[in-house]
Amino acid sequence: MMINFQKLRKTATTTSATINKYFVIFSLEKIILGSSLKQARCFNYQSCINVKEIHCKAITPPDCGFASDIYNDATLYVPKGCYEAYYTAVGWRNFKTIIEE
């Protein structure tokens, strides 16, 4: 399935977000994950090849798994005061750049 948009936003009440091999989203540049998120997944790097920003609004880092290149290429934005929680959380700690917002 080909999807053409630049931003994916999950609402504050969404608890899971998965982008998999069935979605090819070449134009997706920003992912915004809501504060109630419990799980985030994007295992197929080709599905998220242009993602440059992931904004996660959850205070407690959700369970996550991303394709390895996303950790290198995208900047992770987390709530103010949550840097340490994400920096030490399994999965999230693999992001090269984590910024509080």
- pLDDT, one tens digit per residue, over 11-57 is 444 444 544 444 445 567 888 888 887 777 665 545 567 788 989 99
The whole model's pTM is what?
0.76
CA pair distance 39, 65, nearest whole angstrom: 8
Cβ-Cβ contacts under 8 Å for 88 (sequence gap 6 or more)? none
Report angle CA 86, 88, 89 to the nearest 5 degrees. 65
- What is the share, in percent, of the chain residues with pLDDT greater than 90? 31
pLDDT of 26: 58
17 to 29, 69, 80: CA distances (angstroms): 16, 18, 22
Q: CA-based Rg of the chain, rounded to a whole angstrom?
A: 12
Residue given tokens 């069935």 in the structure block: 22
**What value does the mean pLDDT of the chain take?**
75
